Structure 1
Amino acid sequence: MENHGEDDDRVTTTLEVRRDAVGETRLVTEPHDPTHLEPGDVRLRIDRFAITANNITYAVFGDMLGYWDFFPTGDAEFGRVPAMGWATVIESRSPDISMGRRFYGWFPMASHVVFTPTATADGFRDDGAHRRQHAPVYRAYVATDADSMYPAVDADSSIDDAEDRHALLRGLFITGYLAEEFFADGGGTGEPYFGAARVVVLSASSKTAIGFAQRAAIRPGIEVVGVTSASNVEMVEALGFYDSVVTYDQIDTIATDGGAVSIDMAGNPAALSAVHARFGDDLAYSMTVGRSHHDAPPVESAQMAGPAPQLFFAPTEVSRRIEEWGRAEYGRRCAHALAEFVSGSSTWMQVEHRLGAEQTQAAWADVHDGVVSPDVGLIANVGGR
């Protein structure tokens, strides 16, 4: 069997994805000198990261939204998809980043990574030349000892499980949280949910959708309708966040009185078109967030009734909320909401580990192929630890 460098800090093993056929991957192993870094750089060992449908979305939108540029390969055929997780500094030539510190943020699906950091109040920012055009939230790495969202544990839980759940849910929940806050103030208009009586959530079993629904469920006067596949109805109903759950072929049974807004996590044009056909001009707003149905053709909004779907880009909303609420208040609100959501996830989500390069590669294939149950979250570690 080929040695892909498990448990070896002298090599970096990376999972790369074919840019025009994101179900195809390869493992690349590169030796490095563990005693040498460029002045100012740090090398981190990547401890764990999540692989979810959102990572597939990052690959699908890699060119449009610049995800391939996070960790460039110089190869037009294969790229490196960012994943959220935790990593430990094992080498440092930065005067501000000490050995042994751990950070949360965006990493390649790899065993190690090198950054050119600029210290910040709560960690560092990657200031490599290729990263400077990216939104600040994508370049920020938060130290565990300065992280307002770092998980707290009690006697009945472990820090490993808490970190796993954060890696799986933190980024997805914040997207769902911000999307729900967007609807709650009508995109800045001050009219909750744009005056609609209900929100229709497509791909209601996705983790981002569950985070959105958990927040929407506590809003007064808004009905939360989940749309999912027949096999996931029981699981979605059991969450308790949706007022009603229908299958994709039952969209035409959703009540229309009072109108609706919709949020699409799936990127399935047939389902989204059905929602638009059901409500027409009574659809007050149509938001698209992801493309978990990555093999579906893009939505042709000109052919749909009602408003044109609007892509929700979380970093833009982060900036708007920080400006509106202030950075400290933004952090406080997110930390409180996230802690509640992650704690509750133990009732509906099982964590499954994929350790080693080949298992990480298999995890990507399983998520891409849609064979991972929605109540399972995959945590990977290329180094096999």
Structure 2
Amino acid sequence: MTDTTTRTELHVNRRAVGDTRLVESPLAPLADGMVRVHIERFALTANNITYAQFGDMLAYWQFYPVVDDVDGDGNQWGHVPCMGWGRVTESLVDGVSVGERFYGWWPMATSVDVTATPTREGFRDDGPHRQPHAPAYRNFTRTDADPMYTSADDEPRHSLLRGLFLTGFLAEAFFDSRPELGAEQALVLSASSKTAIAFADCAHRRGSLRVVGLTSPGNVEFVRSLGCYHDVLTYADVASIESVPSVVVDMAGAGAVVAAIHDHLGDLVRHSMVVGKSHHDAPPAQVNAGPQPAMFFAPGEIQSRLAEWGPEGYRERVVGALGAFIDDSHRWLHLSEHLGPDAAASAWAAVYAGTVGPDDGVIVSLHGA
């Protein structure tokens, strides 16, 4: 049932991102040019923790600014964007109808009001705070016009994997388009993470690089079972990495491990890419050999791929690769639902604490069962 009188939001402490608060507020009348969306379900992964940790640098906090964001104790609170589905319950925008469902980036809330401009495949958030953001972050795709949509049963998997897959797909395309690096292998940290699995899956299917996964001892067997890594090592095994031209793909933010790889390989590190920070308490890398680690920004790479492949070529490649990845995920990814405000807060705490298994996909709704 849709609550038409109040809204519940789960806010994250911008300076201590493991902390959350639940806030309930009355719904105001909808303003002209806006739509009100009932947020059905969204996915929580380690990437959402990364969004919070890099929220200032990459402007994630500005997706959905929090009103009265500083509390009496001086804590500043924000919305972390999550991927999932929402349904329009009110609309004062021609071209966006009540009852339509959309996929995109939502706040952790029961509903949200968005300044909407209709597009061919859905609508774009044109709120003034959204102007600096990349189109990939502002667009919402109508389910009936979604070229990537497969089935209602696969919606949770799309919520969990579509965005992460696209990051992994683009990171792999980044290296494939740069043969001048001369890389023979990719060293992937946090190899059990869903973005890392997507990267390895794309590289394995293309046959472009030998992919070596690095992970914690408890995840080694799971990572090996995936079949997309040529070798799997623990973080303590850096000295056994083959000394050949390599690229580093850091999903972990494990500075000491990255530094050890650079020390071991030296100038054989041809590029060091920072994608995520699943080890959120680890200090950044202090690199003394090889290139300095560089942050990977997926929206910028989208523009590069569009320029090289064209819109249709880009779409064909993504849709085909994502479909294969979603299908294969039934083999290794199990879903768990967390319904209601308290369950949502507990789910965030579990993902932050790293107690969610690599084969568990966390789906959340602030609405009850």
The two structures have a TM-score, normalised by structure 1, of 0.92
Q: Could you say what secondary structure the match of 1:54 adopts?
A: helix
Q: What is aligned with 1:39?
A: 32
Q: What is aligned with 1:132?
A: 131
1:281 aligns with 2:267: yes
- 1:327 deviates by 1.6
Q: What is aligned with 1:214?
A: 201
Deviations 1:105-156 (A, max 9, x none): 000011001001001110000001111111111000000011111124xxxx
Moved more, 218-227 or 24-33: 218-227
Q: Could you say what secondary structure the match of 1:358 adopts?
A: helix
Q: How does 1:89-128 map to 2 (within 5 A)?
A: 89-128=88-127
- Which residue, out of 171, 175, 187, partners 1:179? 171
- Count of residues paired in the alignment: 363
- 1:254 deviates by 1.1
- Supply the distance in 2 between the matched residues of 1:96 and 1:268 (Cα, whole angstroms): 46
The verdict on how the C-alpha distance between 1:339 and 1:221 changes in structure 2, with shifts beyond 3 A counting, is: closer
Q: What is aligned with 2:257?
A: 271
Deviations 1:245-288 (A, max 9, x none): 000001111111x3211100000101111111111111111101
Q: What is aligned with 1:156?
A: none
Q: How does 1:8-23 map to 2 (within 5 A)?
A: 8-23=3-18
- 1:219 deviates by 3.1
- Supply the distance in 2 between the matched residues of 1:315 and 1:91 (Cα, whole angstroms): 30
Given that residues 69 and 130 in structure 1 are in contact (C-alpha distance below 8 angstroms), is that contact kept between their aligned partners in structure 2?
yes
The verdict on how the C-alpha distance between 1:276 and 1:346 changes in structure 2, with shifts beyond 3 A counting, is: same
1:196 aligns with 2:196: no
Given that residues 226 and 246 in structure 1 are in contact (C-alpha distance below 8 angstroms), is that contact kept between their aligned partners in structure 2?
yes
Q: What is aligned with 2:365?
A: 381
- Supply the distance in 2 between the matched residues of 1:15 and 1:82 (Cα, whole angstroms): 11
Deviations 1:177-202 (A, max 9, x none): 0000001111xxx43xx212211110
- Supply the distance in 2 between the matched residues of 1:219 and 1:93 (Cα, whole angstroms): 46
- Supply the distance in 1 between the matched residues of 2:4 and 2:359 (Cα, whole angstroms): 34
Q: How does 1:70-81 map to 2 (within 5 A)?
A: 70-74=63-67, 75-76=69-70, 77-81=76-80
- Supply the distance in 2 between the matched residues of 1:231 and 1:87 (Cα, whole angstroms): 36
Q: Could you say what secondary structure the match of 2:206 adopts?
A: coil
1:299 aligns with 2:291: no
Supply the RMSD in Å over aligned alpha carbons.
Answer: 1.2
Q: What is aligned with 1:359?
A: 343
- For structure 1, the residue ranges without an aligned partner over 5 or more in a row are 1-5, 153-158
Deviations 1:77-106 (A, max 9, x none): 000100000000011111110010000000
The two structures have a TM-score, normalised by structure 2, of 0.96
- For structure 2, the residue ranges without an aligned partner over 5 or more in a row are 71-75
Given that residues 8 and 383 in structure 1 are in contact (C-alpha distance below 8 angstroms), is that contact kept between their aligned partners in structure 2?
no
Given that residues 2 and 38 in structure 2 are in contact (C-alpha distance below 8 angstroms), is that contact kept between their aligned partners in structure 1?
no
Q: Could you say what secondary structure the match of 2:337 adopts?
A: strand
Given that residues 115 and 126 in structure 1 are in contact (C-alpha distance below 8 angstroms), is that contact kept between their aligned partners in structure 2?
yes
- Supply the distance in 2 between the matched residues of 1:325 and 1:219 (Cα, whole angstroms): 16
- Supply the distance in 2 between the matched residues of 1:209 and 1:78 (Cα, whole angstroms): 29
Deviations 1:9-42 (A, max 9, x none): 3211110000000000000111115xx3111111
Q: What is aligned with 1:167?
A: 159
